[in-house]
Amino acid sequence: MKNVLIALLLLAGTAHAASVQFEPLPLEVGRPGRLTIRLDGDAAQRPPTPHVPGLDLTLAGRSSRIQVIDGALTATTEYVYRVVAQRPGDYVIPSVQVGGERTAPVDVPVVAAGAAPRADAAPDDADASEGPRTAFLRFYLPDEGDGLRVGETTPIVVRAYFRPDAQVTVEGRPELETDGFTVDGLEQLDQGEHTVRGERYLTATWRGTLTAVKEGAHAITASLPATVRWRDRSRRRPRARRRSPFDDPFFRDAFGAGSPFGAGSPFGAGSPFGQLMDDPFFGSAFDADPFAALGGALQQKSLTLRAGRKAVEVAGLPTEGRPDTFDGAVGQFTIDATLDDARTTVGEPRTLTVTITGEGNFDQVRTAGAASTDTLRAYPVAAGASPAGREGAKVFTQPVVARADGDVTIPPVAFTFFDPRADAYRTVETRPLTLHAAPAAGATPAAPPSVAAGAPAPAADHRGPLAAPWTQARFWALPGGALALSLLMIVGVGLRRWHHDATARSRRAERAALRRMRRAARRRRPADFLLAAQRAAQHHFGRAWGVESDAITGHEIAARLPDAGPLRALFDAADRVRFGGGVDTVDYTHWRRTLRAALKEQPA
């Protein structure tokens, strides 16, 4: 991916009329900390108590101080809060609005009881060679303390901290190194300001999501390349100062001991003139860097900021009680269904819209839609795009047609997912809907009353004015029919070509998947073998049944094929690879024969 250079000019700002301080840092679980909010001026309004899940904050006291300096009256009010952490993690106490001022957020790292470093120890993300930290990186996983399941999606926040007097160039977005998660997002950059250990930092923040793909303990590290420039006032550029212009060798030769200006002369070193030229005031005028005293030496460093290593435990999905309708969705979801129009006629299609809303891994959210019945024909489902992030909604549309007139019931649409909060599989379904279908136009009408036996039939009345042939509908029947037939032929040829192209693409994809399967078998890669075999079957049966290949699941195979046991077992083995981690070995010959028999039995 091409790096995008984001130039951040971070300049020092003015002091806040409302400031905040926290100590000690890091905070131990069960050991109280102290949060102080300091307000300058008359603090008639009490600041609201911040709310942070995992931290208990209570107001411990209030103090005021009034000073008179040079006749000016100044007032300062401090609110002190007692803070107790419930469990380890990285927390952020949000900013607090007090009148027209707002405090800066405060980062509070919490460690286990007894794990806090000594007071004189350097922080783990500081560069000890630089003394005060110029820049550092942290990342946060709000859900790591609760444990994760395979397929579960969790938010991640990556934040870089820079000294206010630094000029920073950030190259691209942060990179996460892990083999147990997939990363999404981290594109949007937000700038802000945070207080860490009583020091103010300007920050750059990225937010994204992680999805667990393998069970076990996995390490996560973050890195961010950047170039930092700052002026270090503790370091001065070395001076190459000459005491006077007469220290030059030219002057030493021209005004040496043997010259009229040498030692002992009226202009020599011991003379008043010589002492004047040796004065430091005149020597400083020839300093090698006359601007070095304006703010210290300018420092520049290209570095890679690295966040501390985090270990996250990922558990596999339970196999006991796993429904056959489960397709890999993990999270919390609800489902709803609506019709574009509940009134229809027999044979006229209506659109059923199924919306699945919640938070989780929407890439694995799928549904087969409503099932066909004796009075309803349901067509394949079309899936909408997954939302960006872990929260949102995914929409599915399905054409449905009433086969008989009257009230036609659309059966409920079910959706199964694993809920990590309840640690159980759940199935939700929509409420039944009803189509009110009228008879189709052109249906056979009721027979007219019969004529009594023996009664003569009424004679037809042909009286009336004569009309020109071209004004009568039957005159245009032949050319109109020919034109309609031509249009139908053109449309049919176009549809045939489109279908042929789609079929050809599906056949090519199936052949490519079979080649990957054979290559994986030769190289003894069981996971790649199972995934390629499943993909080949999806393309083949999707083409045979006229549905999208992604809609072919193990549940769909079992519902459509009378003897789907071996092929369903292949799909289940591939799903375990996708959702539950790797596989040690497989019987390549057995699965090849199983797939070959299934594809041969269902031509496409």
Can you spell out the DSSP letters for 359-425? EE-GGG-----PPP-SSEEEPPPEE-PPPSSSEEEEEEEEEEEESSSEEEEEPPPEEEEEETTTTEE
**Rounded to whole angstroms, what are the CA distances from 256 to 230, 245, 250, 278, 327?**
46, 14, 9, 16, 97
CA 297 from chain center: how many Å? Answer: 41
Are the CB atoms for 577 and 525 separated by under 8 Å?
no
β-strands 199-212, 153-162: how paired? antiparallel
The domains of the chain are located at: 5-137+159-203, 245-286, 330-438, 501-601
**Per-residue pLDDT at 5:** 38
Four-residue CA torsion sign, 274, 278, 279, 283: positive
**Per-residue pLDDT at 236:** 52
3-state secondary structure at position 480:
helix
**HEC per residue, 214-265:** CCEEEEEEEEEEEEEEEEECCCCCCCCCCCCHHHCHHHHHHCCCCCCCCCCC
**Per-residue pLDDT at 178:** 83
**Rounded to whole angstroms, what are the CA distances from 98 to 55, 83, 125?**
21, 20, 32
pLDDT digit string, tens, across residues 63-101: 777 766 656 667 778 888 889 888 888 888 888 887 777
Are the CB atoms for 226 and 169 separated by under 8 Å?
yes
Low-confidence ranges of the chain (pLDDT < 50): 1-16, 118-132, 240-243, 246, 273, 276-277, 279-294, 445-455, 457, 460-464
Q: Which two tokens stand for residue 456?
A: 């003569």
Give the pTM.
Answer: 0.45
**Rounded to whole angstroms, what are the CA distances from 253 to 259, 282, 409, 551?**
8, 21, 114, 96
**Per-residue pLDDT at 580:** 56
Question: Using CA atoms, how far apart are residues 437 and 406, in angstroms rounded to an integer?
Answer: 5
Question: Using CA atoms, how far apart are residues 400 and 339, in angstroms rounded to an integer?
Answer: 10
3-state secondary structure at position 593:
helix
pLDDT digit string, tens, across residues 159-207: 888 888 777 788 778 888 888 888 887 877 788 888 877 788 888 888 8
Are the CB atoms for 52 and 95 separated by under 8 Å?
no
**Per-residue pLDDT at 371:** 92
**Per-residue pLDDT at 369:** 92
330-438 to CATH, choices 3.40.50.300, 3.30.980.20, 2.60.40.740, 1.10.1660.10:
2.60.40.740
**Per-residue pLDDT at 249:** 54
**Per-residue pLDDT at 114:** 66
Question: Using CA atoms, how far apart are residues 381 and 400, in angstroms rounded to an integer?
Answer: 10
**Could you give phi then psi for residue 117, rounded to 5 degrees?**
-70, 165
438 DSSP β-pair partners: 345
3-state secondary structure at position 331:
strand
The position carrying tokens 């286990």 is 112
